[in-house]
Amino acid sequence: MSLAIFDLDNTLLNGDSDHLWGVFLAEKGVVDGAWYEAENDRFYQEYKEGRLDIFEFLQFSLKPLSQHPLEQLQLWHNEFMQQKIEPILLPAAHALVDRHREAGDTLMIITATNAFVTAPIAAAFGIEHLIATDPEMVNGHYTGNVSGTPSFREGKVSRLNNWLEAHQQNLSGSSFYSDSHNDLPLLEQVDNPVAVDPDESLTQTARERGWPIITLRE
């Protein structure tokens, strides 16, 4: 039984859930719309360009979680799933996940986006194992801080290694699907790296190394 690992944003989804959560909050008036949208767009551009300061971004993106009760956040997330996520679910992504499920592989999503945003999305794919950036929670409330290592770039590798040790598994026969050059550290660790609708930088690397390049956009 091999591990089939999937990046989430712009891989299994035709969009970025982290960025879209910020858009949703601005549209709802939960945050200062114009300023928040500008900052959200700036961080997203920095991510795509490979120069994101993950801790600066998380200080920005996790703050709204600390300002509202969990019950309200969950109600908003239900709306978010309907308005922003369901329209960008990819049938071909579901089919890919199902092929690995039918092959008996262990399924995992590993994403830099925080677990509050991504856990319901992983559930929508029927994927049990999720490694995401963990927002700190104290007494049932988010603090706005990060708990542990963000699962971003090299952090994905270290978080995955911790999971492998805890579950007594290894990367023999493993696959990892991603769209982003930010995921090169993990793509280089698995037996079967696959570029999915990749950005320009990852496209070049995949071609140089002979990695498969696929599309899930129909």
Q: Are residues 42 and 121 in the same domain?
A: no
Q: Could you say which of 7, 105, 197, 199 is catalytic? A: 7
CA angle at 34 for the pair 30 and 38, rounded to the nearest 5°: 110
99 and 43 together in one domain: no
Supply the range of the domain harboring residue 37.
Answer: 17-87
The pLDDT of residue 207 is 98
Other beta carbons within 10 Å of 185: 14
- Mark whether 7 is an active-site residue: yes
Cβ proximity of 28 and 194 under 8 Å = no
DSSP assignments along 99-112, one per residue: HHHHTTPEEEEEEE
Catalytic pick among 9, 18, 105, 183: 9
Q: In the annotation, is 183 catalytic? A: no
pLDDT digits (tens, 9 = 90+) for 162-173: 999 999 999 999
Instruction: Answer yes or no: do 168 and 195 share one domain.
Output: yes
Residues 6+ apart with CB under 8 A from 197: 10, 11, 179, 214, 215, 216, 217
- 19 and 84 in contact (C-beta within 8 Å)? no
The Cα–Cα gap between 181 and 159 comes to: 18
Identify the DSSP state of 50.
Answer: T
What gap in Å lies between CA 43 and CA 100, rounded to an integer?
A: 33
Phi, psi at 70, each rounded to 5°: -60, -40
**Positions in the chain whose pLDDT score sits under 70:** none
Q: What is the pLDDT of residue 1?
A: 79
CATH of the domain at 70: 1.20.1440.100
Give the model confidence (pLDDT) of 51-77 as tens digits: 999 999 999 999 999 999 999 999 999
Specify the pLDDT at position 218: 76
Q: Are residues 111 and 170 in the same domain?
A: yes
Rounded to two decimals, the pTM is 0.96
